[in-house]
Amino acid sequence: MKNIKSQFPFLMNNPDVVYFDSAATSLKPDKVIDAVRYFYTNLSSNIHRGEYASSLKTEGFYEGVREKVGSFFNVSDKDVVFTKNASESLNMIATGFLRNILEKDDVILLNEAEHASNILPWYKIAEEKQAHVVFMPLVDGRVDLEILESHLKKGVKLMSIAHVSNVVGVIQDIEAISKLTHQYDTYLSVDGAQAVGHFEIDLAQLNPDFYSFSAHKMFGPSGVGVLISKHEIYEKMTPLHYGGGSNTRFDVLGNVTLKEIPYRFESGTPNLEGVLGFGAALDFIEDIGISNIEANENNLKQYLLDGIMKMDHLEVYNPYTDVGLVSFNVKGIHSQDVAFYLNHHNISVRSGNHCAKLMHGVLHTEDAVRLSLSVYNTREDIDRFLDVIRDITLEKTVDLYI
Ligand SMILES: Cc1ncc(COP(=O)(O)O)c(C=O)c1O
């Protein structure tokens, strides 16, 4: 991964900073920033509304990104709906689809490693429909297919699960899970927020019913998310919002004809600059090659684990992690104080419960420090972290407050 750092202006402008919080949001390469800038400086027009050159050109770019997303995930571009973020995509499934089919005493199957965005929408819809949310146990953060089947046998309307949990880092076997859920007529929603951009994802092969993610975690701009589903499911889905851009006609009697899928789900002016920037993020990933990104991250993860597993004053919760995401604590020091201490040494990590407030059920801790890697991290970054964490003491962290 030579010369990658130099493509990230944040790192060039903050040369002393080691950024280890890519699971919260990734840094943005020049290519993405340039694409956003290009929109404002050369296009600056709305789409699906203008017959003039800059509008038609913008529309061409916007729809081109939809096609890129389709081919990146091996699905039809007609199955790609742009949303605001992964959270909105998940809410769209709950209120736009599940609400239409959920009945009293139906079951929604989750697990305790999930992010709030993959729990709260289901709580809300379950409460409204007097259905039940059931949490399935994981084994070392992983779905055990026998345990899953025992739940499915009792009847589950929809299962929702992170492809990669933001606290555990395990890659779930979505292909096997979707085969099983479909045997029992259970819909499968997959939260891909922590998976996208880290390894190849072929949705035709994995075959979930829904796949949700955000562009900002894969080098793209904030404010752009994606929902990928299937035509026959979208046909049963109610849009989350109504307004311009999503209808072909309406009359004074209140009759509305919606546009075809996916446009009926994208009311109002979309985040045009964000989508164009997202297209550049996909190009950035393709230029490096997703398998190179995966191999590099695996390599760094192993180097990091080799370093921290040797330190007796640390407790590492997910040594079995499949991606560059490690949760740990320094014994006797609160995670927030550890993060503050690391920040004092210009190392950015996340601490707390990471919006996964039920994670104690999986990691057996209420909070942890989370270190997450990306393409711009190096062994030197990890060495800097290891040197600082090796010498941390409670006294040193307390001294920062005095
Ligand atoms: C596993 C997981 N799901 C969903 C989300 C929500 O993503 P967003 O805030 O972009 O909607 C996150 C964000 O951290 C996440 O880690």
Tell me if residue 214 is catalytic: no
Distance 117 CA to ligand 1 centre (A): 6
- Ligand 1 mutation pick, 194, 227, 374, max ligand atoms within 8 A of CB: 194
Rg of the chain in Å (alpha carbons): 22
d(CA 39, CA 165): 34
User: How far, in Å, are 125, 258, 377, 387 from residue 381 at the CA level?
Assistant: 44, 51, 6, 10
Ligand 1: atom nearest CA of 117 is 4
| Nearest-angstrom CA–CA distance, 338 and 330 | 7
d(CA 355, CA 167): 9
Neighbours of 302 (CB within 10 A): 11
Per-residue confidence band for 40, with pLDDT thresholds at 50, 70 and 90: very high
**What is the residue with the minimal CA distance to atom 15 of ligand 1?**
193
Catalytic residue among 349, 355, 356, 362: 355
| Mean pLDDT confidence for 166-171 | 94
Q: Which residue segments constitute the domains of the chain, with CATH numbers given?
A: 5-20+289-399 (3.90.1150.10), 32-286 (3.40.640.10)
Strands 107-110 and 158-162, by their bridges, are parallel
Residue 77 is predicted with a pLDDT of 98
pLDDT band at 356 (very low <50, low <70, confident <90, very high): confident
Hey, whose CA ends up nearest to atom 7 of ligand 1? 86
Characterize 326-354 residue by residue with b for buried, 16 or more Cβ atoms within 10 angstroms of its Cβ, and e for exposed: bbbbbeebbbebbbebbeeeebbbbbbbb
The pick from 115, 119, 322 for probing ligand 1's pocket by mutation, whose C-beta has the most ligand atoms within 8 angstroms, reads 115
Report the separation in Å between the CA atom of 57 and the middle of ligand 1, taken as the mean of its atom positions: 32
Question: What are the pLDDT digits (tens) for 42-65?
Answer: 999 999 877 899 999 999 999 999
Write down the pLDDT at residue 37. Answer: 98
pLDDT tens, residue by residue, 270-286:
999 999 999 999 999 99
Q: Calculate how far, in angstroms, residue 158's C-alpha sits from the geometric centre of ligand 1.
A: 19
Which amino acid, residue 236? K
Mutation test residue for ligand 1: of 91, 161, 166, 327, the one with most atoms within 8 Å of CB: 166
What's the gap in Å between 195 CA and the centre of ligand 1? 11
The minimum-distance atom of ligand 1 relative to the CA of 164 is: 1
DSSP state of 179: H
**DSSP line for 219-257:** TS-TT-EEEE--HHHHTTPPPS--STTSEEEE-TT--EE
Strands 132-135 and 158-162: unpaired
Render pLDDT for 238-261 as a digit per residue (tens, 0 to 9). Answer: 999 999 989 999 999 999 999 999
Residue 86 CA, ligand 1 centroid: distance in Å = 6
| Beta strand pairing call for 247-250 and 132-135 | unpaired
d(CA 81, CA 69): 10
Q: Nearest to residue 349, comparing CAs of 330, 372, 333?
A: 372
Lowest mean pLDDT among 92-101, 189-198, 316-325, 354-363: 354-363
- CA 54 to chain CA centroid, Å, is 32
- The ligand 1 atom nearest the CA atom of 24: 14
| Residue 382 banded pLDDT, cuts 50, 70, 90 | very high
Specify the ligand 1 atom closest to the Cα of 89.
11
3-class DSSP assignment, residue 328: strand
